[in-house]
Amino acid sequence: MIIILYIAALIAAVAFAVLVIFLARTLTAVRRTMNNVADTLEGVEKQMEGITLETTELLNKTNKLAEDVGQKSEKLNTLVDGVKGIGDTVQEFNQSIRSVSRGLTQSANDNTDTAAQAMKWGQVAINLWKRAKKEDIKS
């Protein structure tokens, strides 16, 4: 029976040794993995510092661009107001031309009969002059 106890103790010792060996290998692999993770995190930290600086610069440039756009927008508003004034002036000018045109049309319509009579009398005068000229030539 004592031999069985020694054999059991030997099996337990071997099993414990195998367990310790596998545990040591696992812990070594975990240590390597953790070192790689630490190196990766250091690299990410450095990259984040660069990204932070670039983001800050980009934000500053964006703010300057927004200010520039605001200033140019104000100048453009002034230009639009000027163009609107020109448009109003052109519209008033067109209304004046229409008014003059209506006046001329009305005047022409009012004097159509007088103009027709003047044309008739002018034609009669031309005919009389031509006759007088023919008689002078015959005589």
What is the mean pLDDT of the segment spanning 75-85?
A: 83
Token pair for 11: 């099996």
Three-class secondary structure of residue 111 per DSSP: coil
DSSP notation for the chain? -HHHHHHHHHHHHHHHHHHHHHHHHHHHHHHHHHHHHHHHHHHHHHHHHHHHHHHHHHHHHHHHHHHHHHHHHHHHHHHHHHHHHHHHHHHHHHHHHHHHHHHHHHHHHHTHHHHHHHHHHHHHHHHHHHHHHHHHHH-
Read off the pTM: 0.41
**How much of the chain, in percent, has pLDDT values that exceed 70?**
97
What is the mean pLDDT of the segment spanning 98-114?
A: 77
Q: What is the pLDDT of residue 139?
A: 62
pLDDT(98) > 80: yes
Q: What is the pLDDT of residue 58?
A: 92
Interatomic CA distance for residues 43 and 99, integer angstroms: 81
pLDDT(6) > 70: yes
What is the mean pLDDT of the segment spanning 34-61?
A: 91
Interatomic CA distance for residues 109 and 103, integer angstroms: 10
pLDDT(108) > 90: no
What is the mean pLDDT of the segment spanning 127-132?
A: 83
Q: At which residue do the structure tokens 């927008």 appear?
A: 73
